[in-house]
Homo-oligomer: A and B are copies of this chain.
């Protein structure tokens, strides 16, 4: 953790400075609880009420809010992005301390860059390659033929199965499992035959994978995660899924096998996507949605039914289970009220 002067920060990140350029900030803070060494930000209007009372050393905000700021202000068009950059400067990730912990088990055929760090009780299999300045934390297991690029960090207890390829500047959190077998089964006489899963997994550059997220290896060809993809915790990615660059997926979502998701998509939490589908670029799917057909048009899609008080919800849900009947009754009433209309072409009564 370093400190930085506001003058330095304004120049480096292209902000307009309102206040003393020699003030120094040391860490990030919330508007509400910042001390004078704290750098706060205002991006979400919900927190504006804390601005006038803040004790922060400086606040990153947009031009409209600057006049209300009681302390120094770093004025930016996109305060959240500027905050992200300053926060990364003040709070850099811990540097990898080059070298292998004596308790790690590293196969003699592994090629580990001398600037990389291998933590306590990590296991590095045969022919594994680990790039410059990368860090494999305590308890990680890398099976044979894994390859990791430069500046990538596996925090702890990450498992990479054989032949998994991870790019540069990735961040893999504890409990991540990449390259386990996909769920490939053929039914035969009332039992299941296993389909060997001989494809791999390729993770691009600048990918973050959250705690306990699992990414299965391909059945024949590879599962592919594009550059800049961000995956939250507890996500399941099936075999042969392909995810385009800079797509972000929130926690507890699941993507079934052989589905392709485009670039710059955003899937909120607990979204489920069925298998063998295609979702185009620039699609946003809101929380708790179930995607069971291709999405060919960028835009917003939803599917989550929200809660109600239990008694009221149950009444409505009971009606849902007789909705077809209700619709037929309405159709009948329409007919008797006005004489039978010609049926429209997409009439669900025809189904």
A131, chain B: closest CB distance, angstroms = 19
Q: Is A78 an interface residue (CB 8 A)?
A: yes
A256, chain B: closest CB distance, angstroms = 6
Q: Is A141 an interface residue (CB 8 A)?
A: yes
A313 engages B319 (CB within 8 Å): no
How many identical chains are in the complex? 3
B183 engages A173 (CB within 8 Å): no
A308 engages B323 (CB within 8 Å): no
A242, chain B: closest CB distance, angstroms = 14
> Which of A137, A159, A193, A293 gathers most chain B CB within 10 Å?
A159
Please give the residue numbers on chain A whose beta carbons come within 8 Å of chain B beta carbons, in ascending order. Answer: 27-30, 33, 46, 78, 80-81, 83-85, 87-88, 90-91, 93, 101, 103, 105, 119-121, 123, 125, 137-139, 141, 143, 155-157, 159, 161, 171, 173-175, 177, 180-181, 183, 185-188, 190-196, 198, 206, 208, 210-212, 214, 216, 220-221, 228, 230, 232-234, 236, 238, 246, 248, 250-252, 254, 256, 264, 269-270, 272, 274, 276, 285-293, 299-324, 326-327, 329-330, 333-334, 336-338, 348, 351
6 pairs, CB–CB < 8 Å, chain A vs chain B: A28-B220, A141-B156, A171-B181, A272-B287, A272-B304, A300-B310
